[in-house]
Structure 1
Amino acid sequence: MNEYQEYSNDRKEEPSFRYAGFWMRFWAYLLDLVVVGSIVRMLIKPVFRMQDFSLSESSMFAPASIASALIFYFYFVLMTKYLNQTLGKMVFGLKVVDLKSNQMTWGTILFREWIGRFISSTIIIGYIIIAFLPKKQGLHDLFTDTSVIHVER
C-alpha cells in the first residue's frame, strides 16, 4: 500500500504533498536529457553507422531524428508508468503522482508524457507556469491532473 492509499483510506480529503518546484524539475529534466542523449549515442548512432544511414541529415523526419524521438518518448513514458519517476527524478528525490487516483493509467501517462510534453515544449509558458501555480503543475500536468512531488526519504 502506498502513502496515497494509506492516506485516502483514513480520510476522504486530498493528500498534502510537498510539490516540486520549477528548478528541481528543471535540473531533473536536464539530467534526463543527458541520459536520453547517452542512450541515443550508444544505440542509435552505431546501428545507423553500420547500416550506412545518414546521421548528418538535420530534418525532423530523418530516420535518426525519428529514432531519437522514439527513444526520448519511450524513456519518459515507460519510466513514469513503471516507476513513477525517471532517473533524473530519482536523483533529485522526485516522483509523478496522479492527484485524483492511486495509480496512473496508460492513458494519463501517454497524454502527459507524449502529447502534453509536446504542447508544453511548443508553448514555453507551459513549463514556466510551474513556478507560479500552488501545486507546481506544468501545462501537461494540468491536462492530466498530475504533479511532481518530493519523495519522503
Structure 2
Amino acid sequence: MVPYGGFWWRVLAYFLDAIILNIASSFIGGVLGLGVGMAMFGIDADVVTGAAVASSVAISFVVSWLYFAGLECSRLQGTLGKLAVGLVVTDLRGERISFLRATGRYFAKILSGMILLIGFIMVAFTERKQGLHDLLAGTLVYRTRDPSSVYDSSDVFA
C-alpha cells in the first residue's frame, strides 16, 4: 500500500513551488518590463504604478494557476515541488486527473486558505490526508515517485 502524502511533505513541496513561481513571475515581469514601458510614453506615474501592480498580480495569478493545474494533470502528476519530495496527485481511483479537475483543485485551495488555512490543516487530521481542496476536487496525494503504483483497478461495484 502506497502511503498518502502527509502534511509536512506537502508543506515542503509548496515551499519549493513558491520559490519556483517567484523566480518565474520575476522573470516574466522583467521581460515584459511592467511599468517601465508605460513611463517611457509619458503616462502619469500613479497610472503606471497602478497598472504595473495590476498587471503583475494578474500575470502571477495566471502563471500560478497554469503551473499547478498544468503539471498536476500532466503525465508527471505533480508540480516540480511535489516531484522533488516524491508526491503525486491522483483522482480517487489513483488515475491521472483532468485539467478541469486540476483547475477546480487549484481554485478550491483559495477557499482552503480563506478559512484561516483550516482547509490545508485538515491534511494532518483526515484519514486519507485530504485537505478541503482535495475533498472538493475528489483528489488524493500519494507519497511515491511512480504514479502507476497507486492505480486501483478493482471495480467498486463488483
TM-score (norm 1): 0.79
1:52 paired to 2:38: yes
Output the CA distance in 2 between the equivalents of 1:55 and 1:36. Answer: 24
Aligned AA for 1:107? Answer: L
Equivalent residue, structure 2, for 1:135: 128
1:4-153 correspondence to structure 2 within 5 Å: 16-47=1-32, 48-49=34-35, 51-52=37-38, 57=50, 62-82=54-74, 83-100=76-93, 102-113=95-106, 115-123=107-115, 124-152=117-145
User: What displacement does 1:101 show?
Assistant: 5.9
Aligned with 2:38: secondary structure?
A: coil
Structure 1 unaligned regions, length at least 5: 1-15
Aligned AA for 2:96? Answer: Q
User: What displacement does 1:121 show?
Assistant: 1.5
Q: Structure 1, residues 55-106: CA drift from partner, whole Å, max 9, x if none?
A: 85599x7111111111111110111111211010111011101113633122
Counterpart contact for 1:55–1:64, Cα < 8 Å: no
Report the aligned-residue RMSD.
2.4
Structure 2 unaligned regions, length at least 5: 40-46, 147-158
Equivalent residue, structure 1, for 2:149: none
Q: Structure 1, residues 14-66: CA drift from partner, whole Å, max 9, x if none?
A: xx43001111000100100000000011112331255337785599x711111
TM-score (norm 2): 0.76
Aligned with 1:20: secondary structure?
A: coil
Residues paired across the two proteins, number:
136
Counterpart contact for 1:100–1:145, Cα < 8 Å: no
Query: Greater Rg, structure 1 or structure 2?
Result: 2
Distance 1:101 1:152, change over 3 A: closer
